[in-house]
Amino acid sequence: MSEEARTLGERPVVHTHELFGIVLIILGIVAMTFPKFTTNLILGAIAIILILAGAVFALLTYRSKERTIGAWLKAALLIIFGILIFAHPYAGAIGLTLIVFLLLLGASLISFYWAYSSRENPSWWFMAVSGTISLVLAVLLIWGIFRSNPWIVGIYIGINLFVDGLMLLLMGRYLKKVEK
């Protein structure tokens, strides 16, 4: 990489990994600081998406020549589940906990695969550590799903974002050293 590509004037350009890492660290800290807000924000977004999707299906079914009962049921179920999440956030938080468990499990498997694929690169262990932490969080989350506060999801999402951000920040710093 040329010296011009690495700097703008006299200031060094922040590596993309570092920038995204800093953003994820900040989001992780916000999520851990306000876990109930984070969980409610995610639940609210899911509820709105379900209600809007149900409305779109209802409109499509209404405008369609073939107005089947299945199409109406799908629209109704989407709208009902969206409203139920708004009305009963605790139940929605348990469902969200299962989704976050799958997310953390998937993120850990992807991180392990990425680490394994990059094992000739000295920074492979950043991804292995991130995968290990995601796997531990997934196991702890599913183990305590009915014994813990439903807002724990916000804390776990925050921890995962923070760890991934730290991993990207460290990887970006490592890549800067290698590029020099």
Higher pLDDT, 123 or 75: 75
Is the model's pLDDT at 118 over the cut of 50? yes
Q: Are 154 and 36 in contact (CB under 8 A)?
A: yes
- The band of 88, judged by pLDDT with boundaries at 50, 70 and 90, is confident
pLDDT computed for residue 146 by the predictor: 60
Which helix (H) or strand (E) is 26 found in, with range?
A: helix 16-33
Distances (CA, A) of 65 to 68, 71, 73, 172: 9, 12, 16, 55
CB 38 within 8 A of CB 31: yes
Question: Which pLDDT value is given to residue 94?
Answer: 79
Give the per-residue pLDDT at 54: 94
